[in-house]
Amino acid sequence: MTVNISIDAMGGDFGPNVTMEAITCVLGNHSDVCALVFGDRAALLSAVDQNLSHNILSRLDIRHCQSQVDCDDKPSNAVRSKQDSSMALALKSIKDGDAQACVSAGNTGVLMALGLFTLGTLPGISRPAICAEIPTDQGNKLMLDLGANVDCSAQQLYQFAVLGSYTAKLALDIAKPRVRLLNVGSEAGKGNNLVQTAARIIEQDTSLNYQGFVEGDGIFQGQADVVVCDGFSGNVALKAGEGVARYIYQKLSRLSAGQEGDFADLKSSIQPSLFNGAYLLGINGVVVKSHGGADVQGFSNALERAINAARHQLPSILSPELEKTIQVTSE
């Protein structure tokens, strides 16, 4: 089955120079993938290597757009005035059935707002969450929310737990994902009212393999397959983890220069670009957010995550499961 991926090629810090190279690299790795590329036609064509094979170039469908979303655009204004932008039209291609997934490195708030406006949410989900794979001692795990919702209700944290659990089953092939809430302590009595209330709600859903709380240092030890938190805490934890990883990566780059073996292997395994690409879980469609500063390898990895989710038909599988599972609980 052919997988069609739509891309907002104008987003991010580097625009078409990075996105177009990444797109053609990924097309070279997947003969059954086609790319619907949205942006300024002249800029996109100038960034494409015309010496690429006909097989790759024939699977590039460049669609000209009148505008693009800027980094300082406000979500509400963009929804009203930028429906002709590369981001909006890339998302619309999912609604129209032209694509099975969308990738953008543009403004996160606008991507979330346009995604909600264009595609809506999955059953039982009040707010989508940013969900990313994170490296741990026990393989890649999931963490959400990473910044979409600075303030969350306990019911929304429960919804994130359900979304994350089903996504871990499908995307990471974990049969019974261990779900934990991020907290300031692992003991049952620790945490604020929000976390305590969310824990009680999650415990009531026996379809979840809820294992209690996890502290910040347990995230990268793999103590949970799905770490659930509000967007404020999640974003702080993620950025702190990225900063440490980048620091260690730079140190190892100096130590492992010209070396083979353990140092080089460790260096490559913690390279931040390998984990670029976060799902906007809860939106009724596959939408992947790339880091704005992603390089070619980073944007390629975001495309790979979108392709994987599209192959699994993530929203189509999640939708009926959520209808059966989500419990509306008074707080």
Q: Is the dihedral of CA 179, 287, 294, 13 positive or negative?
A: negative
Instruction: Assign residue 43 the CATH number of its domain.
Output: 3.40.718.10
Is residue 262 located within the same domain as residue 146?
yes
Is residue 219 located within the same domain as residue 303?
no
Domain presence at residue 201 = yes
234 near 148, Cβ under 8 Å?
no
Domain presence at residue 329 = no
| Cα Rg of the chain, angstroms | 20
Domain presence at residue 320 = no
Is residue 4 located within the same domain as residue 118?
yes
Domain presence at residue 139 = yes
Is residue 146 located within the same domain as residue 237?
yes
Give the HSE-up count for residue 20: Cα atoms under 13 Å, Cβ half-sphere: 23
Domain presence at residue 231 = yes
Is residue 31 located within the same domain as residue 130?
no
Is residue 97 located within the same domain as residue 171?
no
Spatial CA neighbour of 201 closest among 168, 169, 234, 160: 160
Is residue 253 located within the same domain as residue 139?
yes
Write the DSSP string, 98-121: S-SEEEE-S-HHHHHHHHHHHH-B
Q: Is 167 exposed, middle or buried (0-12, 13-18, 19+ CB in 10 A)?
A: buried
Is residue 167 located within the same domain as residue 99?
no
Is residue 148 located within the same domain as residue 192?
yes
Cα–Cα distance for residue pair 49/293, rounded to 1 Å? 22
233 near 149, Cβ under 8 Å?
no
What total number of domains does the chain contain? 2
Residue 87 corresponds to which tokens in the numbers above? 């981001």
Domain presence at residue 325 = no
Is residue 182 located within the same domain as residue 91?
no
* pLDDT 10s digits, 120-168: 999 989 999 999 999 888 999 999 999 999 999 999 999 999 999 999 9
Helix or strand holding residue 131 (H, E)? strand 129-134
pLDDT values of the chain reduced to their tens digit, one per residue, 331 residues: 899 999 999 988 999 999 999 999 999 999 999 999 999 999 999 999 888 899 999 999 999 999 999 999 999 999 999 999 999 999 999 999 999 999 999 999 999 999 999 999 999 899 999 999 998 889 999 999 999 999 999 999 999 999 999 999 998 999 999 999 999 998 988 999 999 999 999 999 999 999 999 999 899 999 999 999 999 999 999 888 878 777 777 777 766 555 555 555 555 555 667 789 999 999 999 999 999 999 999 999 999 999 999 999 988 888 888 887 775 544 4
Q: Which residue range is the domain that position 289 belongs to? A: 1-125+282-315
Give the global pTM. Answer: 0.89
Cα–Cα distance for residue pair 232/234, rounded to 1 Å? 5
Domain presence at residue 195 = yes
